Structure 1
Amino acid sequence: MFCTNCGCEIKEESAFCPKCGKVVSDTENTQDISITGRKVPSKRTLRLFIPIAILLVVVLTVVVIIYNAMMGVKVINNKVEAGSIVQTKDIIIPRSSNGIIRFQNELDTSKLGQQALQYTIENGILSINRHIEIEVIDTTAPVISGPENIKVQKGELFNPADFYSVTDFDDGLENSIVVTPEVNINVVGSSKVQLSAKDSSGNIGLLDISVQVIELTADEQLALKAINKYVENNGSTDGVASTVIVYKTDAAGTNGVDYYVEINSDVLYAIYDDGEIKPFTAKEAQSQLVLKLLFMAVEMDGTEVSSSKLVD
């Protein structure tokens, strides 16, 4: 039984409430007790509070879901290839069809590493600034360009940079071509080798080639130098005449040129006394009076060399 005054539980045999001292009524209090002040809430209050709390949680959850749907983004890719052209949709897109993403700064794909990309997402009157970390990576291997078959003079140093070029996101790889195995330039014969170039990101470009070491006369050596330069400029020996003519200038070192090599009727090469080899078209030769010098050389010294020994 309970006290009708304070709600304290009273033993059946008690004549008064041990807490408030009120005389106990013979009639048992079976009503819900409402306690004020510091007293515990009534059962009725608790029954009302619980559904309100649940409703608030549900409402807040729905609000968060709607907000994320309106202002959320989906990350498509947080890594981009170096040197590539990147659009917004390649990186992130809004989750809402009404969302608009505006980048505040540009991604510099010429620089490797992490970059912070600032952006604003808008949806109606809502707007929020955010950022995303993007990593610029280089996964593209260097490309080695040049002929698949070359010929070099016995005893002459084989320098890949004389025949091949390297293109890559990194610069300055031309001198980093590695030849495996090394070419024995002191033994006449043909060998298969592999050229490789490695960039700073660890990507490796490969090219399998054939190197033929041959023994030539002095004129054939000059002709081969010019033909190799022609191949470097044109990519193949197509256009090389069956007979290549080596012309010696009327006086060694005239204008710095020791020899001219006529590859065909339209293209000739000047071999300078410092070893440089420079191509001239007929028009260029005429404009620089080289053609006149060549005619003088023809009358004095012109040696025909069969190109069949020098090209495949």
Structure 2
Amino acid sequence: MSIPSSPAFAALHSLSNLPRSPLGMTPTPLSLLARVTALCGGPQIWIKRDDCTGLATGGNKTRKLEFLLGQARAMGCDTLISQGALQSNHARQVAAAGAVAGMKVHLVLSDAVPDRSANYAKVGNIQLCRLLGAQVQCIVGDANADEVCAALAQQLRRDGSRPYVIPMGGSNGMGALGYAAAFAELAQQMQQLNAPLDAVVLASGSGGTQAGLMLGGWLQGWQGRIHGVSVGPTKEVLSARVNYALVDACELLGLPADAAASVELITEMGFKGPHYGVPDAATFKALELAAREEGILLDPVYSAKGFAGLLQACATGGALHGLSNVVFLHTGGVAAMSAYPEAGEVL
């Protein structure tokens, strides 16, 4: 790591002073994937276990929600509203965060994944959302969830509630700050292991986690790569989502919008499968390899697609093959596995 600039020091101070509601069990573990490293024959591959954040089975959204919930409570809100797909990991963690804070939670969930059975809307994350006490409203996949959430917030205000609307994936600037802070945790862990960090690979969908890591790297004076593997969005859509969250996060810290522009935006499109929420052969192969070589459970919507991208990037001829140390960020999602019974049948 190089020495952060003066603007970065000021931004780090601003970050530490923002309202934040502790939700996760951090720091999360970081360990070497020795068998996968040997199979790829390239850099040492490490895994950052943000599936172990602890909030209702954990996941990456917990870190975002610490800042989002902190702002909501500082504003005097008593209700959380958010959106996602029927098997949204984000929605599950919003429901859990609301339970921890004693706040009501309303979730607008889109039936956006094609060709699933009727059981898909009953098990996994959506079952846990209801168990956690959230009010769940399901909408058709082509409905505008932003408009539904806005109308719901307006109605709740008329009824005397004080709602706080969280965007898809918690991926605005405030949510992204969760991973600006998380990068410092990761960097310190790698430093303690005397393993210089060259790149971070993650599944990327709503873009906020990738944006936060990019900003966190810049704040630490880091010169490595944040390698996002799309789980469904096109390159144009994913890049726009990451850039939106990054610019918004910079403004929250008093930085110019282009402060982190020196951190390259890398998006891999080769493992998103036929559709968001639909795994393909590469997804299932990554699921099997992680489970059978390292005893690690991934999910077929996010982390397995990201891991498939990691395997290709670290193998001979891959974009990260010549590096020394690469970290895979496990973003969680195993709670949705019961909605994908084919994951156990096709291996």
TM-score, normalised relative to structure 2: 0.19
Structure with a larger share of its residues in strand: 1
Which has a greater percent of helix?
2
Select the structure with the greater relative contact order (CA < 8 A; seq sep ≥ 6).
2
Please give the TM-score of this superposition, normalised by the length of structure 1.
Answer: 0.21
